[in-house]
Amino acid sequence: MALLFFGKDPNTNGDDCPTVWVDGETADLVFQGWKADGETEDECRTVGHIPDTEAVIRIPARMVPLIRKACDEAEQRSAVQ
């Protein structure tokens, strides 16, 4: 798997912070983010359970420009496949 790095949260120290990538093979978005708190998970569960293979994460809104660029890349790659 080849992940294309798009950026880290610009308001952190660069280590252990929310990050966004695009999978170069599948065009999937890959996120590293803060684990959601119990209250947030409970609210998410109002539309369905959270399987053990999934997680609720929080990405700061200030990362929207990076995510937008990653989405554009993912869209272009998925159109080619």
DSSP secondary-structure letter at 60? -
**38: containing domain:** 3-80
Number of domains in the chain: 1
pTM flag (> 0.85): yes
pLDDT along the chain (81 residues), means of 10: 92 87 96 96 97 96 96 92 70
pLDDT of residue 80: 78
Strands 34-35 and 3-8: unpaired
pLDDT of residue 16: 82
> What is the rounded CA–CA span in Å between residue 39 and residue 24?
34
> What is the rounded CA–CA span in Å between residue 78 and residue 80?
5
